[in-house]
Structure 1
Amino acid sequence: MDIELVCEGLEFPEGPVALADGSVILTEIKGERITRVRADGSKEVLAKVPGGPNGAAIGPDGAIWITNNGGSFVWLDNQGLTIPGPTPPTHTGGSIQRLDLGAGELTTVYDACDGKRLVGPNDLVFDRQGGFWFTDHGCSTPDGRKFGAVYYARTNGSQISRQRDHLISPNGIGLSPDERTVYVADTQLGRLWAFDVAEPGVLAPGPGFAPGRVVCNLPDYQLLDSLAVEAGGKVCVATIINGGITAFDPDGSVEHHAFPDILCTNICFGGADMQDAWVTASSTGKLYKARWPRPGLKLNFNA
């Protein structure tokens, strides 16, 4: 696979969104900002977003919706690589935010569910109805981890529901092409979960004692981050330690595409044929572009 370096000098890039004009909007978690990277590699800061802007997606209103982890990492330098460390004691929780691109206005839409503070919102995806699924990654504490969860919410601020709780470290989230399945990558477990959708915004009960169906557990020590889904149904998950993108077939088989960073965090698809793939290489602060072997799934909303 031919890989092109599009941009460097980013401060832990994540949440890429390929726009119709060929540019990519992404978050810089350490830099606490939303940035547009043009096709020629030039950068434009769209907004400062205090805390930890993590995932991003275009909503039905044309705004950028952001999962903000609230600054849940201490940033470490390890041999020149930027590595997310433990959660600082100043962390109080994260939120779901909306950035109006025209007005440049950033608003917080949700920071709690049923009176329980969101811990570290991580990634999100919009369904055809205009609502969105999102993961809360949880966070570390001196005594272990706060659990993560999977939520569903409406953009008008009227509804948020916790659909799965007590997950170890849910990270990337995506929908199958028919939207009958929500896929969630668990970072620490190296596991891709599949949750059946009973109706829009509601997950069906898991099988037996399990919260969902296990698509695959990666062998050895590999960690999973954010994801995008292909038009044919494969789930492409950014992979840490074994740096690159792991494509999971719903039958559990996998293929790995290496990228030059041990901490690849996300992938998005775009271009006329949806076979242009952009990958955030976060520990080195770079954005790469490649021609993917298959087309990605077109998202429900774009700009």
Structure 2
Amino acid sequence: MKIRELATGLQFPEGPIAMNDGSVLLVEIARGTLTRVTPDGKVHVVADLGGGPNGAAIGPDGAVYVCNNGGFAWTRDPGNYLRPIGQAHDYSGGRIERVNLHTGKFERVYEQVDGIGLRGPNDLVFDAHGGFYFTDLGKVREHEMDRGGLFYAQPNGSGIHAVAKPVMTPNGIALSPNGQTLYYAETEGARLWAFDVTAPGQLRKDPWPSPQGARMVVASPANHWQRFDSMAVDAEGNVCVATLMHGGISIVSPDGQHVQHVPLPDPFTTNICFGGPNRRTAYITLSATGRLVAIDDWPTAGLALNYNA
């Protein structure tokens, strides 16, 4: 596969959205911005959100909804690789934000669930009914870490509830082509989990020993030091999971029986989305090195999202 570099110098890019005009929206977590990369490689800030904007998706109203984790502390490793190392000293609280693409104005839609503040919202996906599922990974501090959860919410702020909790380090989240399976990636254990969706915002739960009611699709091979990050689903239902440390994209069949790894030159390959003609172009964030790249000949077309702009 041939890799095209579209933009460099980004400050830990994540949350790519392939737009119909050929541009790519993404967040720069370390910069605190929602950013647009145009087809000619120019970089424009859409909104200065502060905190730690993470996953992003277009909602049914055409606005961009952003999971903001409230901010990370950062370090640079050998090779000048940038990576997060825990909760920021100026952590500003987790929230879901709505951004008007025309004006750049933004507002907080959710900051808490049942009186408990969001800690580190990470990624989200809209279903065909106009609601969205999102993960809250939690935050890591020197001597402790949060347990997170999965939630379902309405974009107009009218309702939010937990669909699974507590959950250890939930990160990427995605729906199957028919919308009947909800996948999420567990970062620390490098495991891909799945729930059956029984109704909008309702999941079937497996009994113990499932830790949160999900069924495990696949786990990282024991001989690979890796973690799972964000994801996208292709038109055939395969789950394409950004894989940290063993940098690249892991392509997992829906039953977990087949796993293919596409290596990429960044240990913090964090997210993927599909766009271009027939959605055969994969746009991938290489976060430690601050790049957005594209692969035009992805083996399978990406799944069309429920909303785009």
TM range (shorter): over 0.9
Per the alignment, do residues 124 and 77 of structure 1 end up closer, same or farther by CA in structure 2, a change over 3 Å counting? same
The structural deviation recorded for 1:101 is: 1.2
Q: Which moved more, 1:208-217 or 1:190-199?
A: 208-217
TM-score normalised by structure 1 residue count:
0.98
Question: Which residue identity lines up with residue 88 of structure 1 in the other structure?
Answer: A
Equivalents in 1 of 2:180, 2:129: separation in Å?
13
- Number of aligned residues: 302
Equivalents in 2 of 1:174, 1:251: separation in Å?
15
Q: Where does the alignment leave 5 or more consecutive residues of structure 1 unmatched?
A: none
SS in 1 for 2:87: coil
Question: Which residue identity lines up with residue 232 of structure 1 in the other structure?
Answer: E
TM-score normalised by structure 2 residue count:
0.96
The structural deviation recorded for 1:89 is: 4.5
Per the alignment, do residues 30 and 89 of structure 1 end up closer, same or farther by CA in structure 2, a change over 3 Å counting? closer
Equivalents in 2 of 1:209, 1:190: separation in Å?
18
Equivalents in 1 of 2:209, 2:178: separation in Å?
26
The structural deviation recorded for 1:104 is: 2.0
Equivalents in 2 of 1:103, 1:250: separation in Å?
40
Match of 2:254 among 250, 260, 268: 250
Match of 1:221 among 225, 228, 232: 225
Q: Where does the alignment leave 5 or more consecutive residues of structure 2 unmatched?
A: none
Equivalents in 1 of 2:247, 2:192: separation in Å?
17
Are the equivalent residues in 2 in contact too, given 1:92–1:119 (CA < 8 A)? Answer: no
Match status 1:11 vs 2:11: yes
Deviations 1:197-224 (A, max 9, x none): 1111111122433120100001132101
User: Residue in 1 aligned with 2:137?
Assistant: 137
User: Residue in 1 aligned with 2:183?
Assistant: 183
Residue identity over aligned pairs, in percent, reads 48
The structural deviation recorded for 1:246 is: 0.3
User: Residue in 1 aligned with 2:241?
Assistant: 237
User: Residue in 2 aligned with 1:108?
Assistant: 108
The structural deviation recorded for 1:92 is: 5.2
Structure 1 residues 61-76: aligned runs within 5 Å: 61-71=61-71, 73-76=72-75
SS in 1 for 2:277: coil
Equivalents in 2 of 1:37, 1:105: separation in Å?
19
Are the equivalent residues in 1 in contact too, given 2:163–2:203 (CA < 8 A)? Answer: yes
Question: Which residue identity lines up with residue 248 of structure 1 in the other structure?
Answer: V
Question: Which residue identity lines up with residue 103 of structure 2 in the other structure?
Answer: A
Question: Which residue identity lines up with residue 238 of structure 1 in the other structure?
Answer: A
Deviations 1:4-33 (A, max 9, x none): 111100000000000011110000000111
User: Residue in 2 aligned with 1:58?
Assistant: 58
Are the equivalent residues in 1 in contact too, given 2:51–2:91 (CA < 8 A)? Answer: no
